[in-house]
Copies of this chain bind each other. A is one copy, B any other.
Amino acid sequence: MPNPVRRTRQREAILAAFDDLPGHPTAEEIHAAVRAALPRISLGTVYRNLEIFVQEGRLRRIAVYGGPARFDCNASPHGHIQCVRCGRVRDVPQSPSPPGALRGARLGGFTILETRHHWLGLCAPCRREERAPSRTGR
């Protein structure tokens, strides 16, 4: 039986980083945070392990509208709202609505694994910017 996943300091630190990072960090952000504990950890290691954690189901990759991938450590069912201006993502509690019961069902030829709700919006800082565009805006 091949491929037992080993416990390494790097992997522990990556998962631990989610406690410090609010929201849904990118690989770069996780790398920066983990460096506080393991200064020599490489970005490649972070990417490799994030991918493994996603495969294992310990993390999720979030659906984003452009920009780098973002990761989510929150196991409870929830949706996301993303700012169309700056990309920031925030959790939204997801009611276990009817569609939530669809796991295993067929939809357009696909077998459903998960249902998620998504919103597009403007976060508070960007809302202000849109109203009073500054020289740095858009």
Complex contact B121–A118 (CB within 8 A): no
Complex contact B108–A91 (CB within 8 A): yes
A102 / chain B contacts, CB cutoff of 8 Å: 119
Among B64, B112, B117, B122, contact of A64 (Cβ-Cβ < 8 Å): B64
Among B65, B66, B91, B112, contact of A119 (Cβ-Cβ < 8 Å): B112
A107 / chain B contacts, CB cutoff of 8 Å: 81, 92, 119, 121
Shortest Cβ distance from A5 into chain B, in angstroms? Answer: 16
Select the residue from A82, A102, A109, A124 with max chain B CB neighbours within 10 A. A109
Complex contact A113–B84 (CB within 8 A): yes
Shortest Cβ distance from A100 into chain B, in angstroms? Answer: 11
User: What CA separation (Å) do A123 and B110 show in the bound complex?
Assistant: 4
Known A99-B117, A110-B122, A114-B120; 14 more pairs at CB < 8 Å:
A62-B65, A63-B63, A63-B82, A81-B107, A84-B113, A90-B108, A92-B108, A110-B121, A111-B127, A112-B121, A113-B120, A113-B121, A116-B117, A116-B119
Query: What is A's interface to B at a CB cutoff of 8 Å?
Result: 61-66, 69, 81-84, 90-92, 99, 102, 107-124, 127
